[in-house]
Amino acid sequence: MRILVLNGSPKKKSDTFRLTEAFLRGMNKKHTQEVRVVNVIEKNVAPCRGCFRCWEREDGHCVIEDDQNEILDLYRRAELAIWSFPLYCYAMPSHLKAVLDRTIPLIRMKMVREADGRVRHEPLADFSRLRTLVVCGCGFPDWAGNFQGLRAMCKACFRSPDMVCVPETPLMNVPAAATVAEPLLARFERAGEEYAGTLTLSPETVAALETPMIPAEEYIRHVNGL
């Protein structure tokens, strides 16, 4: 499987990306996948200008000459796109959002009404085989109230993506928290094995991945240094 990983963390030692790496290890256990990781923070991707020149040309490329066109070419070839990033202001970090905004060269201006009743732009290429997985981590100690906005955006942008939203991810790079972080990494690895076999994640698996590692009050005490 051709996998494109869009790593949206701005840090080299990324909490969220440790989880994504474990997932990829699981995917590679039985069959080696073709994985391409793009560290978006290292790329030159300008904001969308809203010029719609891409819709005039319909060649799948943006008129801005930067690194986005390489990403668009990789995206068109991918069979699985993994968007991996920390939660910033209840959404994606701005540099990754710029990549998402500038995927409009992959659709046409023409609008179509689909079976679910929604009106969408017609895709420029055949993305019927493209699957999407979103892995997002945040520093809050719980799930409720923190990921709903992101889930709504991803559902609209990616149709029906698999999503894993993980609280307390700063624990991933705290040596003293290894006793709770390592089991979560192991669960992500098993989830990768599951996904490689079924191309989806069961609700039970997602629930296990999203369960906080330690009780909320204990996490808050550690963060606050109490």
For residue 71, the domain's CATH number is 3.40.50.360
Distances (CA, A) of 147 to 57, 122, 168: 37, 29, 13
Indicate the number of domains in the chain: 1
Range of the domain at 10: 2-223
Give the whole-angstrom CA distance, residue 41 versus residue 57. Answer: 28
Please tell me the pTM assigned to this model: 0.95
Q: Are strands 34-39 and 107-113 parallel, antiparallel or unpaired?
A: unpaired
What local confidence, expressed as pLDDT, does residue 77 receive? 95
- For every residue of 55-100, DSSP letters joined together read HHH-SS--SS-STHHHHHHHHHH-SEEEEEEE-BTTB--HHHHHHH
- 189 close to 22: Cβ distance less than 8 angstroms: yes
Residue 114's pLDDT is: 87
pLDDT in tens, 171-213: 998 899 999 999 999 999 999 999 999 999 999 999 999 999 9
